[in-house]
Amino acid sequence: MELNEQKLKIVKTLQEKSVLKQRVYDYAIAAFDKIKNLLAALAREINRDIIDTDKRIRLVYKENGKFDVSIKVAGDILVFSIHSNVFEFDRDHPIWKTPYIQKDKDNSYSGIISIYNFLADSFKYSRSEDLGYLIARIFINRENQYFVEGKRQMAMLFSNYGNEELERDALKRIIFTAIQYSLEFDLLVPPYDNVKIASVGQLEKKIQLSKMVTGKRLGFKFNSDDVLER
């Protein structure tokens, strides 16, 4: 390929693919900004509704930087995190079988907002070894179309990819479902054999720093129960 042809190819890529990705990113950031506003408003509204209840269960909204926000709900913290890059799905992903993507491959490029569930005590006591749980991922494309990939409740509610833009009402449904799922997703006692032996160092560390590894169903260990359901 001659140098001039290479230059023309670079220009074409910038004009087409790079512009497409920037548009995807803009929609994803706009959705993330809406999530931040919705979470802050939700915390204020629910706290008013439970003003006469135990103060320890009040919602606490917090911004942790440009790409991460969290909301504390009783003993849980949900972290909403947007990735700064745009992605395309691997060739084995079921999304390629949808008419919407088959119609135009460019619709597959997506921004990603992930929702993680952690225990509030993990942050309160700086238990850095505690585990979190990915409960859902929101994919947004260049047309502001979206779908949600996640565990049972999340996956069943949102399957209208290509026919519904990601607006405030849709984001509210996603947020409410994520919070309800986390509240119903209880902390399980670890198997006895997993904790029956502890070294002196581990015990001293627990006494000094309260760092016995804890997590709901040992999140991020993707066994048959943890694989994301679509």
Tens digits of per-residue pLDDT, 79-125? 999 999 999 998 898 889 888 999 999 999 999 999 999 989 988 88
What separation in angstroms does the CA of 1 have from each of 5, 17, 149, 200? 6, 21, 42, 66
Q: Are 140 and 146 in contact (CB under 8 A)?
A: yes
Element (H, E) at 76: strand 76-82
**138 pairs with which residues across the strands?**
113, 148
Element (H, E) at 71: strand 68-73
Over residues 40-57, mean pLDDT: 91
The pLDDT of residue 132 is 85
Other Cβ atoms closer than 10 A to 82: 23
* Cα separation, 172 vs 153, whole angstroms: 14
- Residues of the chain with pLDDT > 70, as a percent, come to 76
pLDDT band of residue 126 (cuts 50, 70, 90) is: confident
Over residues 149-170, mean pLDDT: 77
The pLDDT of residue 225 is 40
Higher-scoring residue by pLDDT: 19, 2: 19
The pLDDT of residue 155 is 58
Q: Are 181 and 153 in contact (CB under 8 A)?
A: yes
Tens-digit pLDDT profile for residues 175-230: 999 999 888 876 666 677 765 666 666 666 666 655 555 555 544 333 334 333 33
The pLDDT of residue 228 is 37
- CA of residue 86 relative to chain centroid, distance: 15
First to last CA, the chain: 43
For the chain, the residue count is: 230
Radius of gyration of the CA atoms of the chain, in A:
21
Higher-scoring residue by pLDDT: 50, 205: 50
Q: Where are the domains of the chain?
A: 3-209
Over residues 157-180, mean pLDDT: 87
Instruction: Please state which of the ranges 133-137, 155-159, 167-171 shows the lowest mean pLDDT.
Output: 155-159
